[in-house]
A and B are shown apart, each in its own frame.
Chain A
Amino acid sequence: AQTVTQSQPEMSVQEAETVTLSCTYDTSENNYYLFWYKQPPSRQMILVIRQEAYKQQNATENRFSVNFQKAAKSFSLKISDSQLGDTAMYFCAFMKPNDYKLSFGAGTTVTVRA
């Protein structure tokens, strides 16, 4: 079974600053997907960014980018120019191809201060 570890329960960042969330995972697979999902107070799970393990280039979506280190099994999320609307819980998740089950980390609560 895959395990996903998010070691930071809470993070706080000033508006317009940058925050980095860490995630590590354990797998013996060579190919897989990694995700960051955002869960705002409205509680809906929203996909932030997605990375395929066979792609070495780090994924980027506007102010969100990842640092994918396959050998270290690390997948951190950087939020640049933080906005108040970024306040949410962020979950790192792992999926094997053809498995379709997401394994989630425990989540990191991010609070953006005005």
Chain B
Amino acid sequence: DSGVTQTPKHLITATGQRVTLRCSPRSGDLSVYWYQQSLDQGLQFLIHYYNGEERAKGNILERFSAQQFPDLHSELNLSSLELGDSALYFCASSQTSGGHHTGELFFGEGSRLTVL
């Protein structure tokens, strides 16, 4: 158990809909990352939040947005869903203390999104 909790584990929805994926990082971790794993694109970095602030963006579509709340949990919002958005979405957290990063990310079990 990595200590990172993601909900829901599975989600099936229709094209055009909107969903929210939730992530609770490990206790004490200030950084939260979102990754997308799909068959055609592999594992891709989406976005990084540190202590409530966006730190870096990767290949995240404009239809997607994220935020990190004061209690450090994060949500990834996916809207106007398309068939190609079907993927496994991972949240990860890391220990960042005093700006020092060990380089190790702790991943949740992922949220499997299926768009029909």
A28 near B: Cβ within 8 Å? no
Docked-complex contact B58 and A33, CB < 8 angstroms = no
Docked-complex contact B110 and A101, CB < 8 angstroms = no
Q: How many residues of A contact B (CB 8 A)?
A: 24
Q: Specify which of A35, A104, A107 is in contact with B103 (CB 8 Å cutoff).
A: A35
Q: Specify which of A33, A44, A104 is in contact with B110 (CB 8 Å cutoff).
A: A44
Q: Which residue of B lies closest to A101 (CB)?
A: B45
Q: How many residues of B contact A (CB 8 A)?
A: 26
Bound CA–CA A22/B112 (angstroms): 29
A to B contact number (C-beta, < 8 Å): 56
Binding site for A on B (CB under 8 A): 2, 31, 33, 35, 42-45, 48, 55-56, 58, 88, 90, 92, 94, 101, 103-110, 112
Docked-complex contact A50 and B103, CB < 8 angstroms = yes
A52 near B: Cβ within 8 Å? yes
Q: Specify which of B31, B105, B109, B112 is in contact with A102 (CB 8 Å cutoff).
A: B105
Docked-complex contact B42 and A100, CB < 8 angstroms = no
Q: Specify which of A42, A47, A91, A97 is in contact with B104 (CB 8 Å cutoff).
A: A47
Proximity bits, A79-110, B CB within 8 Å = 1, else 0 = 00000000000010001011111111111000
Tell me whether chain B's interface is mostly helix, strand or loop, or mixed.
strand
Proximity bits, A39-55, B CB within 8 Å = 1, else 0 = 00011111100101000
Bound CA–CA A104/B44 (angstroms): 7
Residues of A within 8 A of B112 (CB): 43
- Apart from A43-B112, A52-B103, list 11 A-B contacts with CB within 8 A: A33-B103, A35-B103, A45-B92, A46-B2, A50-B103, A91-B43, A98-B101, A100-B101, A101-B45, A101-B58, A107-B42
A60 → B minimal CB distance (Å): 16
Docked-complex contact B109 and A44, CB < 8 angstroms = yes
Residues of A within 8 A of B106 (CB): 47
Q: Which residue of B lies closest to A51 (CB)?
A: B103
Give me 13 A-to-B residue pairs in the complex whose CB atoms sit less than 8 angstroms apart, sorted by A's number.
A35-B103, A42-B109, A43-B88, A47-B104, A50-B103, A50-B104, A95-B103, A97-B103, A98-B101, A100-B48, A100-B55, A100-B94, A104-B42
